[in-house]
Amino acid sequence: MSIRDYQSIMLPLLEFCRDGKEHSLRDAIEALAHKFGLTEQERKALLPSGQQPIFDNRVGWARTYLKKAGLIDAPRRSYFQITARGIQVLESNPPRIDIAFLERFPEFKEFRATRRKAESSSIERADVEETTPEESLGLAYQRLSQTVAVELIETVMKCSPAFFERLVIDLLVGMGYGGTRHDAGRAIGRSGDDGIDGIINEDRLGLDTIYVQAKRWQAAVGRPEVQKFAGALQGHRARKGIFITTSSFTKEAYEYASRIDSKIVLVDGDTLAQLMIEHNVGVSSAASYEVKRIDHDYFTEE
């Protein structure tokens, strides 16, 4: 079963605390995950930010919305229990509890009105209704990153081969390879033979070297090119190589690279763009948003 959206979790969560006892959010997450028959993979699936499991986040927001509507209350930190209003709602046997259902309660309508003012116009209405705020923000970030990635590759393809070589240097150094940029600059491009475009240190101390092949191509790179690169590594008694392209690799190329003794990492255009974004190569920050959470430990009184 796929992970339920947070609105679909509201009624099962309220039913979970029907007994009137105090429950922790963690207990609710475990109970609902079992109820929905979630797999281990679904339990571990993370938000786009990678900071929290999707299911945990959705249960947390379902709890928040029920609390804003007065159906549950928080008697003490990190715990919640059903209210008299919540019991009345369950006794009415609603087929579903969602945002439309909760709009009947004035406290929730006030909460929604406040939230609408804070919503960004750049986030589609469907995202706001079907996903939690963290998911909406993460999805918006993903869309922006995907757009930037496409523009990056288009821009790289218009650059000269020499500039692409410098770009590769900046990226590998930004990822921690090559020691200093000056050292990497001397290493890259100095051989230019046998299918090898350059050599770079694996670490700042130069304990091992990595051979580099960089191709600014539009067509997919096939097995013959990767095989040629692997042969060049053997000719230099090298064990590790990085093959970077602005396009893609064929299935045969990946299969070949996975079978040989030498370790060759294939970096296609999509991966190249994402690495450039991650390591700030060719991009700059346009805006920064810091997401805050309540520090419950701060409010704990001895």
First to last CA, the chain: 44
Q: Is the pTM of this model over 0.75?
A: no
Return the CATH number at 209.
3.40.1350.10
User: What total of structural domains would you count in the chain?
Assistant: 2
Given 118, 141, 174, the domain boundary residue is 118
* Residue 77 located in a structural domain: yes
pLDDT at 81: 96
* Residue 193 located in a structural domain: yes
Going residue by residue through the chain (302 aa), what tens digit of pLDDT does each one get? 589 999 999 999 999 999 999 999 999 999 999 999 999 999 999 887 777 899 998 999 899 899 989 999 988 877 999 999 999 999 999 999 999 999 999 999 988 887 665 554 444 444 445 678 888 888 888 877 887 888 888 888 888 887 888 888 889 888 888 766 666 655 555 444 556 777 888 777 777 888 888 888 889 999 999 999 999 888 888 889 999 999 999 999 999 999 998 899 999 999 999 999 999 999 888 667 777 877 777 776 65
* Residue 21 located in a structural domain: yes
CA distance 239 to 258: 14
The DSSP bridge pattern shows strands 23-24 and 79-82 to be antiparallel
- Are 94 and 169 part of one and the same domain? no
CA distance 161 to 144: 27
Give residue 171's domain range. Answer: 160-278
CA 98 → CA 5, 131, 251, distances in Å? 10, 12, 45
